[in-house]
Amino acid sequence: MHERHLRDLTVSAIGYGAMGFSHGYGPGADEAEAIRLLRHAHDLGCTHYDTAEGYGGGHNEELLGRALAPIRDEVVIATKLHVPEASGRDDLGRQIREHLQASMRRLGVDHVDLYYQHRVDDAGVEDVAAIMGELIADGLIRGWGQSQSSADQIRRAHAITPLTAIQSEYSMMERMFEAEVIPACEELGIGFVPFSPLASGFLSGAVTADQTYPGDDVRRAITRFDPDNVRANQPLIDLLHTFAAEKDATPAQISLAWMLHKKPFIAPIPGMRTQARVEENLGAADVVLSDAEFERIEAELAHVTIHGNRTDADIAKLRDDHH
């Protein structure tokens, strides 16, 4: 497996987003199977695992901790916190430490390699950055990051405690961060970790207009999965199939290879809940596009209109309807 650098953390070019084992995509693998898959990924060279305190109310961190316990020193574990409301800087620092300690207990670790602020509130950017610096100095975390932040928030935070990585949605279907955020990461030496790099599975090429998504499956709320949008997005899937056939690869692998070719500091974390998906997605690291192939894909993408998107607001609405 090829390696990438998120500032001073070394990770596999493709990591593992573990969220889907606990919530968000309908019924998943049972616990024993989830642990087997997480370990199998490491056998294939994966060293970067991502979770959050909010995934399944802590269940996901516990699951990941159990899965990785035998190989803790060989992997980078990333988790995230929702920064709590606080009455002043000291209270904020105390509460963030409590969240971190709780995450470490669930993960069964004595430090977290990469600790993200899970969505960023403009008001507290500098305070959170300073507190993260203290956690690094205390050896409780090795590095820190933000999720879905703006270039301005990144710059303000980085000036106080250098950021290790930004984790935000990025795929062929969601490219808004190419304008300012990815260039800011490049300029400042910050890693960029795409979540939903396959657009919640859309770019696998296996989605059909007549599929339904039960329960808390977030695809119910992601408008690109509306039947009309599935049909309207077919030109993108056709493009991926064309390139996949040329490269003896799959559409998902072409999607990931495109992203890896774009910048050397980009390290995506697809979610994977079957052995076939683990092997397919991690195998994308070996699908290398030439500059000419990459430019052809970029040129073709420029003519494709994307229909529908994924927004936090839509997903929150689904969650509210469901509880």
Q: 3-state SS of the chain? A: CCEEEECCEEEECCCEECHHHCCCCCCCCCHHHHHHHHHHHHHCCCCEEECCCCHHHHHHHHHHHHHHHHHHHHCEEEEEECCCCCCCHHHHHHHHHHHHHHHHHHHCCCCEEEEEECCCCHHHHHHHHHHHHHHHHCCCEEEEEEECCCHHHHHHHHCCCCCCEEEEECECCECHHHCCHHHHHHHHCCEEEEECCCCCCHHHCCCCCCCCCCCCCHHHCCHHHCHHHHHHCHHHHHHHHHHHHHHCCCHHHHHHHHHHHHCCCECCCCECCCHHHHHHHHHHHHCCCCHHHHHHHHHHHCCCCCCCCCCHHHHHHHHHHHC
213 part of the active site: no
Q: Which of 25, 49, 55, 115 is catalytic?
A: 55
Strand partners, 314: none
Catalytic residues: 55
